[in-house]
Amino acid sequence: MPEIMIAKTVDKKKFADLAKAIVSRGYRLYGPVRNGGEVTLGEVGEEPEFDFDYRNFKMSPKEFFLPQSEVLCRFCRGELAEDAAPAPQKRVLLGLRPCDARAIWLLDKVFLEEPEDFYYKQKRENTVVISVACANPATTCFCTSVGGGPAAAEGSDILLFDLGEAFLLEAVSERGEEFLNQFSKMTKDATKKQVAQKKKIAEEAASRMEKLPLDGVAERLAKAFDSDLWEAPSQKCLGCGICTYFCPTCYCFDVTDETLRENGRRVRTWDSCMYSPFTLHASGHNPRPSQKERVRQRFMHKFSYAVDNSGQLFCVGCGRCIVNCPVNIDLREVIAP
């Protein structure tokens, strides 16, 4: 974790004022929005409520950087009709959990290394990520097993801790520090006691979390490529896209040219390795002919190939695939030794 740059506190009662100040500085502010029993990341209204007592957003925030459907360009009779999407307004995403922020840090490795992805980079550079440290992880959470933690900083610009009466805001990136400095009149420097309190929150949450035996998982799975490990999960897998669409690190996409007479648009959409057409060749041959190869691919990619490519597991332990799978395929069980 990077050294603490600056740590500020703001009284909970004054947090709404800070939010208004953020908006008045030209940022679009996205935060927790309640919809029935669920909480999603959405644009906050006039009277924002900031209680961060939810476990996590229903869907991961990857949509904000890699939209499910994004028009890359438009064309007319083979000529580009207009430039690519204009730069988005600068924005603040508030209330992510550190696991989802870590997922953005992982996506950076895919989209910001050569060749850089213009569309992703534009959004990433215009976004300040404020994550909220977890005090109450779910039983399906396992961030500490995959390199993260309830107060891990990767992918965040600012970490927010709930200290009861006040929120502590800790800048964990240069962008975060610059951002906090804009609002120094509304915040106070955190006291030593408050810094100690925030450490305790993170440590307590981490101590309650299950630790999966994932040492050497990449090599273990690489050796299990042809084993019958994949039989049980692939037999019951329905082949829907829930696990991949809910996953904060699944980034596979498809690019399609949609045309109507002489006009067309190039669209990038989420794709899923769970779908049969994902690997279907133009010849009609499909190198992953059954659900077994598809299920294996998903786990191998996250826990073996990704380690070879970038040195990191491409799972952040958010548990969304476990909770939402219609047939209760449990990743923790599949990759267990």
Partner 1 sequence: MSENVKMSDDLKAVAKKLFEEKKIDLLIGYEKGTLPLRTTPCFVTSAGDCDRLVWDGFCSNNLAVYLPRLFSREGRPKDWRPPRVAVVAKGCDGRSLVGLVKEKQAPRDNLIIVGVPCRGVVDLKKVQAALDGKEPAGGEIAEDGTLTVHVDGGKDIRLGRDEVIFDSCKGCPHPDAPVCDIRVGQELAEKQAEADFGDIADFEAKSSQERWDAFVAEISKCIRCYACRQACPNCYCTTCFAEQTQPRWIGVGKDLTEVMIYHLGRIFHQAGRCVDCGACVRACPMDIDLRLFTRKILKDVKELFGYEAGVSLEEPPPLCTFKMEDDQSFITEP
Residue found by looking up tokens 């996409």 in the block: 253
Piece in contact with partner 1 (CB under 8 A), picked from 9-17, 185-193, 250-258, 295-303? 250-258
Q: How is residue 279 annotated by DSSP?
A: G
Pick 259 or 309: Cβ nearer partner 1: 259
Residue 8 phi, psi dihedral angles, 5° rounding: -120, 160
Measured distance CA(29)–CA(147) in Å, rounded: 29
From 82-90, 114-122, 182-190, 271-279, span contacting partner 1 (CB under 8 A)? 271-279
* Closest approach of partner 1 to the CB of residue 53, in Å: 8
Q: How far is the CB of 138 from partner 1 (least distance, A)?
A: 6
Q: Lay out the site mask for partner 1 across 6-45 (x = CB under 8 A, - = otherwise).
A: -------------------------------x--------
Closest residue by Cα to residue 18 from 158, 201, 135, 192: 158
Contact (Cβ atoms closer than 8 angstroms) between residue 126 and residue 85 = no
Among 57, 246, 303, 314, binds partner 1 (CB under 8 A): 246
For partner 1, what does the binding mask look like between residues 146 and 185, x meaning CB under 8 A? ----------------------------------------
Chain-centroid distance of CA 78 in Å reads 36
289 is a site residue for partner 1 (CB under 8 A): yes
The residue type found at 41 is: L
Whole-angstrom distance, CA of residue 130 vs CA of residue 98: 9
Would you state the structure tokens that stand for residue 88, as one six-digit string? 């988005």
Q: Which two structure tokens, joined as six digits, stand for 230?
A: 């994949």
CB atoms within 10 A of CB 1: 11
Among the listed residues 312, 8, 336, 17, the one whose alpha carbon sits nearest the alpha carbon of residue 190 = 8
Positions 291 through 320 that interact with partner 1 (CB under 8 A):
291
Q: Does 337 sit near partner 1 (CB under 8 A)? A: no
Residue 2 as a binder of partner 1 (CB under 8 A): the answer is no
Tokens at 272, concatenated: 């899923």
Stretch that binds partner 1, among 93-101, 156-164, 236-244, 300-308 (CB under 8 A): 236-244
Which one among 74, 275, 279, 292 touches partner 1, defined by CB under 8 A? Answer: 275
DSSP class of residue 156 equals -
Kindly report the number of other CB atoms within 10 A of residue 127's CB atom: 21
Burial of residue 54, with CB atoms counted within 10 A of its CB: 0-12 exposed, 13-18 middle, 19 or more buried? middle
Q: Given the complex with partner 1, which of 145 and 173 has the nearer CB atom? A: 145
- Select the span of 90-98, 121-129, 142-150, 264-272 touching partner 1 (CB under 8 A): 264-272
- Here's the x/- map for partner 1, 105-144, by CB under 8 A: it reads as ---------------------------------xxx----
Distance CA 310, CA 111 (A): 12
Residue 264 touching partner 1 (CB under 8 A) = no
Closest CA to 88 of 28, 152, 5: 28
239 lies in the site for partner 1, by CB under 8 A: yes
Interface ranges with partner 1 (CB under 8 A): 37, 53, 59, 68-69, 138-140, 232, 235-236, 238-242, 245-246, 254, 256, 258, 267, 269, 272, 275, 277, 289, 291, 322-324, 326-330, 332-333
